Amino acid sequence: MAGNAKAPASVGARQEQDKKARCGWQGGARIWEESEQQMKKLRASSGGEPRRKLPKRKIVLLMAYSGKGYHGMQRNVGSSQFKTIEDDLVSALVRSGCIPENHGEDMRKMSFQRCARTDKGVSAAGQVVSLKVWLIDDILAKINSHLPSHIRILGLKRVTGGFNSKNRCDARTYFYMLPTFAFAHKDRDVQDETYRLSAETLRRVNRLLGCYKGTHNFHNFTSQKGPREPSAQRYILDMYCEEPFERDGMEFAVIKVKGQSFMTHQIRKMVGLVVAIVKGYAPEGVLERSWGDAKVDVPKAPGLGLVLERVHFEKYNRRFGNDGLHEPLDWAREEAEVAAFKEQHIYPTIVSTERQERSMAQWLSTLPVHDFSATAQAAASPGAKVPSPQEGSEGDGDSD
């Protein structure tokens, strides 16, 4: 009986011991898990393990770049034949730890979008791209440390989660820098560097450029677009030529144009036709005729002087710029850096390349072969050259 009386106490003791053992294991597990998490954090901070997972945020980056030596802005994934600005940008984003490597291989994973696809050799002082990134410390400095000096990220701002830089953009401003001898009369030497733009000629240039303002049918200013296509209608807010200035003994001028959107080669052809008129190769009436249904032979100015200067988000700024959560996308604080980049990388490249390659002078020598009275039938003749869409674009329209 005595032996039997001790049995329940022994069972109870074992149950208590088991309970304590279980509690001890759970406590040990918690301690082990916390220690493991701390070790992971330590390894991540020392570079031993991949970065701890941070929430991604939608941002926009203000970019400036010199496009010489690049085959445009947009990346061609899987093609290493033609280097683009986005190739260098994506590489810097990965190497700085802003995005995982697989996002660099498939840019859709970071919701990447650019405001405008610039053409081969075209530069930008105010390109804006939107994407999702890890907001690491000193993010701009780290990205720029992996970029060449002729590509800079000048600003960063948080935006709404569904923001798309191309779709939210109301307008784009480009400028076209050219030597003023382009406006000299055709009877003068094609590359007379002693030529200086007179006030009278500048007024005429601005009067002609002003004709572009408003909505017009620009089917003659792009490739492979018919006069009946609604997308050929484009709205130009402003276009004018600034006062000339000298660089390295050569006089230059800057033409600025602001529009809602531009088609492939549109700006270069707008400049080209005005140059042809001012030089005396084409009558002024060809401007209005170029907006009609008939095919007009419009010359395309060289791509060298074309620069994307600024993109505009006026509707977005009105809706979200003062909501207390987001900043307006106006980049006023970055203007000094933008101006410095143009002075250091964009203007000198245009001037030196023009001197070395004489792209404007060579193009001017081709103007006499253009037929500014060409009809649609003549342009459609078997010998007529149809520009390839692979030549690129300066804008962001359907043809991009």
Cα(283)–Cα(280) distance, rounded to whole angstroms? 7
User: How far is Cα 63 from Cα 73, in angstroms, rounded to an integer?
Assistant: 11
> How far apart, in whole angstroms, are the C-alpha atoms of residue 256 and residue 177?
9
DSSP string for 40-74:
HHHHHHTTSSPPPP--EEEEEEEEEE--TTSS-SS
Who contacts 282 (Cβ-Cβ below 8 Å, separation ≥6)? 273, 276, 370, 372
What is the Cα–Cα distance from 233 to 218, expressed in whole angstroms?
A: 6
Say how far apart CA 146 and CA 164 lie, in whole Å. 25
**Whole-angstrom Cα distance, residue 245 to residue 196?**
10
Using alpha carbons, select from 370, 382, 390, 383 the residue that is nearest to residue 220: 370
* Paired residues of 236 in beta bridges: 214, 259
What are the structure tokens assigned to 359, written together? 């792209």
Our answer to whether residue 293 is catalytic in this structure is no
**Beta carbons within 8 Å of 276's beta carbon, 6+ residues apart:** 282, 299, 367, 370, 372
Q: Which two tokens stand for residue 159?
A: 């935006």
Q: What are the b/e assignments for 243-277, b being 16+ CB within 10 Å?
A: ebeebeebbbbbbbbbbbbbbbbbbbbbbbbbbbb
Beta bridge partners of 251: 246
Catalytic residue among 87, 88, 119, 400: 119
Residues with catalytic roles: 119
